[in-house]
Amino acid sequence: MTAPDFLDPRLTEQRNPRTERIDVAATLEIVDLINAEDAMVPAAVRAVRAEIARAIDLVVEALRQGGRLVYVGAGTSGRLGVLDASECPPTFGTPPEMVVGVIAGGYAALVKSSEGAEDDVNAGMAAMDQARVAARDFVLGIAASGTTPFVRAALTRAQTIGAVTGLLSCSDPPKILAETCDVLILPKVGPEVLTGSTRMKAGTATKLVLNTLSTGAMIRLGRAYGNLMVDLMAVSDKLRDRGERIVMEVGGVDRPAARRAIAAAAGSVKLAIVMVKQGVGKDEAGRLLEQAGGFVRRAVGDPPPVTDVIR
């Protein structure tokens, strides 16, 4: 017996039997139903931990070779990719071109729905050329359903160029992508609370994976000292305060001394740490860091242990 025509084989498009009466549920029941579904997401992400680790290694390899991490997606998937890319410079001090987000419909699609753009195959291929994708880049397609034409075409074009490619999806992708991508990350979160609304569980899973991917890669590249963001860009009062507190904690100095060190280091918290810990000037601190491959721990030793949190 064949399945009815209205049944979609994609996991993200199937109906969820646990929420089929959500439209007659009380408000608190709606909250509980959504929360119960959300609770399944971390386990689905953990189930693909090996694939995420593989992707991190591919990103690190690409970045060490002077390549980039390029996210490409449509709709919610595209927005999440652009979001993750845009947060790398302030968090890790990376140049904006190191991690790039490409979204179907262009940047206007970030603030206004442009769902039809996901069907434009030619635009998907052209987007890779416009982004100047090269063989040394790692291109990660993000498509909750695994079938988005814009993303499929972009990945095909990237592969033709010679780039390393991956796919992040919450449903099984077409055979051609499964066979040609270098890594597949498939957190199976199951049917959504509202059928096909992949901004929900699939979106949450995507955010978790992208957080882990970019953060893991930057840690592997030496852009953290212990669990401290030593490569942050102090472009706001909050970040300037955080940078000063980091230097105070790891260098054992007061705030004025930390502030002076950061100023002498031209705003670099990482350089300031080495200067304070080793008692050297900016140039020598830079030499020590370069010798250590950019890793603060290798240049100055272990960071101090975590102190008790003030409650």
When the pLDDT of each residue in the chain is averaged and rounded to a whole number, the result is 92
User: Which residue(s) pair with 100 in the sheet?
Assistant: 70
For the stretch 84-93, pLDDT in tens is 999 999 999 9
Q: How many residues does this entry show for the chain?
A: 311
How many other C-beta atoms lie within 10 A of the C-beta of residue 130?
11
pLDDT per position as a tens digit, 15-66: 888 889 999 999 999 999 999 999 999 999 999 999 999 999 999 999 999 9
First to last CA, the chain: 63
Confidence of residue 224 (pLDDT cuts 50, 70, 90): very high
How far is the C-alpha of 100 from the C-alpha of 86, rounded, in Å?
A: 8
139-to-1, 73, 201, 232 alpha-carbon distances in Å: 41, 11, 23, 25
- 46-55, 67-76, 189-198, 206-215: least confident range: 189-198
69-73 vs 138-142, strand pairing mode: parallel
| pLDDT for 233 beyond 80 | no
pLDDT above 90 (res 236)? no
Residue 10: pLDDT over 90? no
Structural domains of the chain in order of their starting residue, each with its CATH number: 42-220 (3.40.50.10490), 237-300 (1.10.8.1080)
- d(Cα 258, Cα 290) in Å, to the nearest integer? 22
Q: What is the mean pLDDT of residues 203-219?
A: 98
Task: Identify whether 87 is a catalytic site residue.
Answer: yes
169, 148 contact by CB (below 8 A): no
Please, which pLDDT band fits residue 300 given cuts at 50, 70 and 90? Answer: very high
Residues 6+ apart with CB under 8 A from 20: none
Asked if pLDDT for residue 252 goes beyond 80, the answer is: yes
Amino acid at 115: E
Is pLDDT at 1 greater than 50 in this prediction? no
Residues 148-170: b if buried by 16+ CB within 10 A, e if exposed = bbbbbbbbbbbbebebbbbbbbb
Q: What is the pLDDT of residue 310?
A: 57
Predicted pLDDT of residue 307: 80
pTM of structure: 0.91
- Phi then psi for residue 19, to 5 deg, are -120, 20
Confidence band, pLDDT 50/70/90 cuts, at residue 5: low
Number of H helices, E strands in the chain: 13, 5
Between the CA of residue 38 and those of 146, 188, 204, 238, 297, what are the distances in Å? 20, 12, 8, 31, 37
Catalytic entry in 87, 244, 249, 284: 87
| pLDDT value, residue 6 | 59
100-150 pLDDT, tens digit each:
999 999 988 888 776 678 878 999 999 999 999 999 999 999 999 888 999
Q: Which of 37, 118, 192, 244 is catalytic?
A: 118
204's enclosing H/E stretch is helix 201-220
Q: What tokens does 310 get?
A: 């003030």
The whole-number average pLDDT for the span 69-84 is: 96
Tokens encoding 226 = 């212990």
